[in-house]
Amino acid sequence: MSTVDELIEAIHQEALRADFPIDEPVYLQAKKDPRRPILFAGSLSAPICSFGRDLGKDEVAWGQPQVGAGGKLVRREVYRKYVGEPTADDPRLDRALEHVLLSNTVPYKPPGNKAYSEAVKARFRPYVAEFLAGHWEGDRVLCLGTEAFRWFAPYAGPGAADDFWNREDRYEAELPCELVAGTPGGEIRKALIVCPLPHPSPLNRRWYPLFPGLLRARLDASGAG
């Protein structure tokens, strides 16, 4: 199996191989290579992974996933759960990163705020799957929104993800999955518990006010601490 650095370089080479939509002006403004992936932040030994859709401009600027407004909601609740009340000397809430892994379906920023196509997600899926299956030691994934949850649908039983998403209690219930990743050293299989949450955006008017409480309940239910 590749090291994390080798995996990141493999993603970089895949991004160079053929064009796909990238918000290049945002990368150039931040003086970052648009083809260099921002794969994760946080601890590979954390029991929980917060899994989002893709990067925003703040994530590109800081070189970390989930450090914009929505991501800070996640970081803040993790901070409160495991560290205490956030302090003014930690504006990015970096101390939370000792207790959670942060990643996305695609380690790049799409133009504007439009989600990546299924083709782009499929292109980078093998790398993200290898990362989660082979390098992260945890087994509980908090999916931020529909796109992040749907990424795991192929790893559940036929129709299981659709049936689960139609449940009224989908933000409290758990979906068992078996992540399958092909690597140069062979196939890796890993059991995961997928725990969806609403997308933490103010535009998500129904669920945004409820997000912190739902996230706290997910953290409490994880048993980690």
Instruction: At 145, list the tokens.
Output: 């929104």
> Is residue 105 within 8 Å of residue 150, measured between CB atoms?
no
> What total of structural domains would you count in the chain?
1
Distance CA 83, CA 61 (A): 25
DSSP string, 65-85: SS-SHHHHHHHHHHHHHHT-S
Q: What is the average pLDDT across 44-60? A: 98
Task: Please choose, from the candidates 141, 116, 137, the residue with its C-alpha nearest in 3D space to the C-alpha of residue 197.
Answer: 141
What does R_g of the chain's alpha carbons equal in angstroms? Answer: 17
Per-residue model confidence as pLDDT tens digits over 143-156: 999 999 999 999 99
Q: Residue 161's pLDDT is what?
A: 98
Distance CA 120, CA 52 (A): 15
Identify the CATH number of the domain in which residue 213 sits.
Answer: 3.40.470.10
| Confidence bin at 224 (pLDDT 50/70/90) | low
Q: Residue 225's pLDDT is what?
A: 58
- Residue 106's domain spans which residues? 4-222
For the cut 80, the answer to whether the pLDDT of residue 210 exceeds it is: yes
Q: What is the average pLDDT across 202-215? A: 94
Flag the least confident range among 2-11, 133-142, 176-185, 210-219. Answer: 176-185
pTM of the model: 0.96
Q: Residue 2's pLDDT is what?
A: 87
Q: Residue 185's pLDDT is what?
A: 79
